């Protein structure tokens, strides 16, 4: 009862109710909310603090920025969703807030598109060297087909493409990436696809901000060739998996294209099957047969490994943050 009363008290104020409705429509920063509401940042921050303390909003940091979003889980989260559905969409104040929110989203999209255009040429060049992306994506879907996947983790999410593919297939999907510019692109793509069950977070693939066994599946899609410690990244991903959970790794087979190391910051020129499967076994995972998608000159490999019911993943080498 106290959870309900606390949530109702927090929402029972005009500005806080407007904030709740706005955060139900997407992830927003304090400055964005300040612009939409036309109020001072200290005042908006105080209201946001009360909503977070009541469990109606989630707060998370992305570099120097802080984002707010309607709470995803728990009794207060359910209450937050119900409160939002009771407010008429044609309310004049709500309609004005929505119009200003559309302006914020357009500005985001313009910034993300500028970044994408600046990098599109190099991404297109790499794509031209291997099999069509659609075949790779179909193979990733096949790797997780027939599995019960409620919670999915996309490591090094980039533009959020894996979230776009699996968002409609899972209950919850979370993308992690260090690059704020890439996260901006992903955020725009997810908003365009209206995937409210997908979230993105700035984070380190070696130190994930989640408790053990938080996901049913995890994906590295063209990520490990950038990693200076791919074996540690796999061990950390294994820590995320529930029993029978799947890890899917998509990357290149060994190749000799040195320009990818020099011009595109690839630290590894592909991976041998024995290398990836060995790291998976070291992390307590059971590898499945490897699938190779032949291209010229790059071959894409898809490694799948799963966690036994009784498996114990390696003890994390660093202190962990609490589950998000």
pLDDT above 80 (res 64): no
Q: In this structure, are residues 22 and 33 in contact, taking their beta carbons and an 8 Å threshold?
A: yes
Q: What is the pLDDT of residue 116?
A: 56
Which pLDDT band holds residue 221 (cuts at 50, 70, 90)? very high
Residue-averaged pLDDT of the chain: 88
Last residue of a domain, one of 86, 101, 116: 101
- The reply to whether 17 and 67 lie within a common domain is yes
10 and 84 inside one domain = yes
Q: What is the CATH number of the domain that holds 266?
A: 3.40.50.150
Q: How far apart are CA 249 and CA 301, in angstroms?
A: 8
Among the ranges given (119-128, 190-199, 223-232), the one the predictor scored with the smallest mean pLDDT: 119-128
One domain, residues 235 and 299: yes
If asked whether residues 172 and 289 sit together in one domain, one would say: yes
The whole domain housing 274 covers 129-307
At 313, the pLDDT band (50, 70, 90 cuts) reads very low
For 240-252, letters b (16+ CB in 10 Å) and e give: bbbeebbbbbbbb
pTM for this predicted structure: 0.74
25 and 168 assigned to the same domain: no
32 vs 127, higher pLDDT: 32
Mean pLDDT throughout 86-115? 85
Which domain CATH number covers 69? 1.10.10.10
pLDDT digits (tens, 9 = 90+) for 130-148: 888 999 999 999 999 988 8
Whether residue 173 sits in one domain with residue 43: no
Strands 241-252 and 215-221: parallel
238 and 294 part of one domain: yes
Domains: count for the chain: 2
Q: Does residue 1 carry a pLDDT above 80?
A: no
Task: Take residue 1 and report the two structure tokens written for it.
Answer: 């009862």
Q: Which has the closest alpha carbon to 170: 148, 138, 187?
A: 148
Which pLDDT score is estimated for 315? 42
Average pLDDT over residues 246-266: 90
């Amino acid at each position: 009862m106290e959870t309900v009363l606390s949530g109702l008290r927090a929402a029972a104020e005009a500005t806080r109710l407007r904030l709740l409705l706005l955060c139900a429509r997407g992830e927003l920063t304090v400055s964005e909310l300040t612009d939409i509401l036309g109020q001072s940042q200290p005042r908006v921050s105080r209201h946001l603090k009360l909503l977070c303390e009541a469990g109606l909003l989630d707060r998370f940091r992305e570099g120097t920025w802080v984002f707010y979003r309607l709470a995803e889980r728990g009794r207060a989260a359910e209450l937050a969703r119900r409160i939002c559905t009771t407010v008429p969409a044609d309310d004049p104040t709500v309609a004005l807030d929505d119009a200003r929110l559309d302006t914020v989203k357009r500005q985001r999209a313009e910034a993300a598109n500028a970044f994408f255009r600046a990098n599109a040429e190099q991404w297109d060049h790499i794509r031209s060297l291997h099999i069509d992306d659609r075949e790779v994506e179909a193979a990733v879907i096949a790797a997780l087909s027939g599995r019960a996947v409620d919670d999915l983790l996309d490591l090094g999410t980039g533009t959020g493409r894996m979230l776009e593919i699996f968002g409609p297939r899972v209950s919850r999907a979370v993308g992690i990436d260090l690059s704020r510019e890439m996260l901006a692109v992903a955020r725009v793509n997810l908003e365009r696809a209206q995937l409210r069950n997908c979230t993105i977070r700035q984070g380190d693939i070696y130190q994930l901000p989640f408790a053990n066994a938080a996901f049913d599946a995890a994906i590295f899609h063209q990520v490990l060739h950038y990693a200076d410690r791919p074996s540690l990244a796999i061990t950390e991903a294994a820590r995320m998996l529930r029993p029978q959970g799947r890890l899917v790794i998509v990357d290149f087979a060994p190749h000799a294209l040195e320009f990818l190391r020099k011009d595109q910051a690839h630290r590894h020129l592909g991976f041998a099957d024995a290398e990836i499967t060995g790291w998976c076994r070291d992390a307590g995972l059971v590898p499945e047969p490897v699938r190779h998608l032949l291209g010229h000159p790059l071959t894409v490999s898809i490694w799948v490994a799963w966690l036994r019911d009784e498996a114990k993943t390696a003890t994390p080498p660093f202190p962990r943050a609490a589950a998000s």
